[in-house]
Structure 1
Amino acid sequence: MAQVRYRKLDELTDDEVYAAYEPPEPDWLRVNFVSSADGAATLEGLSGPLSGAEDKRVFKVLRARCDVLLAGSGTVRAEGYGPLVLSPDRSAWRRARGLPEVPVMAVVSRTAALDPAAGIFTEAPRRPILIVPADLPSDRTAPFREVADVIALGTGAVDLAAAVAALRERGLRQILCEGGPHVFGDLIAADLADELDLTLAPKLVGPGPIRIAAGHGDAAGERPAASEAIPLELRHVLEAGGNLILRYVRSSRGSAL
């Protein structure tokens, strides 16, 4: 097991933060979430109130490092995602490494219940991607084909394994997922997540809000067996303003880290 490093985030330079999140392999899928100390994924229905300037510094580095940002349509709507842009210094960091100035935005949706005139599509600096089930009626996806590339895979739901493969076929090999909980739950079920970057915010929310991972079978009481739990290795802990910013990697992956 790799040695766990504990650091104060405000003692690190930007270069050190970038280095702390160096992906160990060319094909890598990391998931980024914030949670309250008692496990809530949202506060007043949003993740934003749990987040702050401290973990947003890491959040922005993760965005700068990815080829494609993946998010579910529910998260896109609830959190008010706009066009995917980066600050000038983050774009400059990418240019210096031969990368496009911004990543591609990819939205996963079972129903395409989004507005094709929304800025996330019409104002995007790079053409975004909409990922939907293959059996979704064509009249649901037709309005998006003018503003996005549509990838249709799966029956009744998006086949995420096939979607990840399709993204990588486009050269989008470093994938950052920002949720929501159902997308993360589906990634876990499909054994696709290589890394979890989790900020524990110093707040108690109490009962009610969902966890960072949810399954479509939750209402029916379906739960994995203990033997199905996926082991993780903690690679570092960054502390900032009482937030614990944790980097976990699948114990069977990233052995060179």
Structure 2
Amino acid sequence: MTIADIRLLHPGPASSRPLALDDLIDLLAPADRSIARVRANAVSSVDGSATVDGLSGGLGGPADLVVFDLLRRLSDVVVVGAGTARDEGYGPLVLSDDVVSWREEHDLAPHPVLALVSASLRLDPSDPIVVDAPVRPIVVTTESSPREARVRLEEVADVVTCGVDRVDPRLLVSALVARGLRQIHTEGGPSLLGDVIAADLLDEICVTVSPGLEGGGGPRIASNPESLDLRALHLDHVLLSGDMLLSKYSRRR
């Protein structure tokens, strides 16, 4: 794994050398894997947009990709909205051989499970994201999703119902934890992350601030129609790579 030049700004003192891979893992790893934890990762422009030309990829860079990969390495399950997976061109969740070896050495399953969230089940059961997955994926849906689509997907994935017309994030988290998938990592999109925040389930979020201005046309990293009270967070660390800031916040206890 190629490591970008990433330096620690906070907590101080600021590092005078790039962080090694093990340093980054120590910063991102959960303190106790036996305790269920919901984590998110997102990237934003300086002026608050989650996308450029409709995609988040244009905001990232080498350092952001390192954190993205490490968060997957450390998770039991990666949760993503089916629309986001489709728009961002997701492939099957396959880790490199060296990462698989690292996970096995740390008593983790070789690969995390991929959980796709889709209320409508507008998913192609022949899509490589499903059929080429190294671990049978999970599809999280609703009672109102089409039965025919459910039957087709059940041949290649575990289809789990978590809500009537809309996926309930509380039921989603409970279903994953019941399967032993305690380290839950979501990569969005904005509606899924907004629902997780509204349900007060988010324990930790990593946010990359990309050094650019988008102009206000793009969405935020989280979207929800409800008006919520401000949720206070604790700043765990801030990293710097070139002009890009990479931060991690956790909920205040």
TM-score normalised over the length of structure 1: 0.90
Deviation by residue 1:7-32 (Cα, 9 ceiling, x = unmatched): 56971111111000121342111000
Q: What is the distance in 2 between the residues matched to 1:58 and 1:9?
A: 20
Q: Which runs of 5+ in 1 are unaligned?
A: 253-257
Q: Give the CA deviation at 1:117.
A: 0.6
Q: Which residue of 1 aligns with 2:111?
A: 102
Q: What is the distance in 1 between the residues matched to 2:138 and 2:116?
A: 6
Q: What is the distance in 1 between the residues matched to 2:96 and 2:45?
A: 27
Q: Which residue of 1 aligns with 2:29?
A: 22
Q: What is the distance in 1 between the residues matched to 2:17 and 2:203?
A: 27
The yes-or-no answer on 1:5 pairing with 2:11 is yes
Q: Which of 168, 192, 195 matches 2:204?
A: 195
> What letter is aligned with 2:237?
H
> What letter is aligned with 1:53?
P
Written as runs of structure 1 = structure 2, the 5 A alignment for 1:1-257 is 4-5=10-11, 7=14, 11-25=18-32, 26-215=35-224, 217=225, 223-224=227-228, 228-252=229-253
State whether residues 8 and 240 of structure 1, in contact with CA within 8 Å, keep that contact through their aligned partners in structure 2: no
Q: Among the aligned pairs, what percent are the same residue?
A: 44
State whether residues 37 and 182 of structure 2, in contact with CA within 8 Å, keep that contact through their aligned partners in structure 1: yes
142 and 192 in structure 1: CA distance in 2 versus 1, 3 angstrom threshold = same
Deviation by residue 1:164-212 (Cα, 9 ceiling, x = unmatched): 1110110100011000000000001111100010000001110210000
Q: Give the CA deviation at 1:54.
A: 1.2
Q: What is the distance in 2 between the residues matched to 1:237 and 1:206?
A: 25
Q: What is the distance in 1 between the residues matched to 2:89 and 2:125?
A: 14
Q: What is the distance in 1 between the residues matched to 2:29 and 2:202?
A: 16
State whether residues 127 and 148 of structure 1, in contact with CA within 8 Å, keep that contact through their aligned partners in structure 2: yes
Q: What is the distance in 2 between the residues matched to 1:211 and 1:75?
A: 14
Q: What is the distance in 2 between the residues matched to 1:10 and 1:173?
A: 34
State whether residues 181 and 211 of structure 1, in contact with CA within 8 Å, keep that contact through their aligned partners in structure 2: yes
> What letter is aligned with 1:156?
D
State whether residues 69 and 104 of structure 1, in contact with CA within 8 Å, keep that contact through their aligned partners in structure 2: yes
State whether residues 39 and 211 of structure 1, in contact with CA within 8 Å, keep that contact through their aligned partners in structure 2: yes
169 and 61 in structure 1: CA distance in 2 versus 1, 3 angstrom threshold = same
State whether residues 9 and 238 of structure 1, in contact with CA within 8 Å, keep that contact through their aligned partners in structure 2: no
Q: What is the distance in 1 between the residues matched to 2:179 and 2:158?
A: 11
Deviation by residue 1:217-248 (Cα, 9 ceiling, x = unmatched): 3xxxx533xxx110001010010121100000
RMSD over aligned Cα atoms? 1.6
What secondary structure, in the 3-state scheme, does the structure 2 residue paired with 1:11 have?
coil
Q: Give the CA deviation at 1:91.
A: 1.4
Q: What is the distance in 1 between the residues matched to 2:110 and 2:231?
A: 35
Q: What is the distance in 2 between the residues matched to 1:53 and 1:117?
A: 31
Q: Give the CA deviation at 1:68.
A: 0.2
| Structure 1 segments of 4+ aligned residues over 6 angstroms from their partners | none
Q: What is the distance in 1 between the residues matched to 2:167 and 2:188?
A: 15
Residue correspondences, number: 242
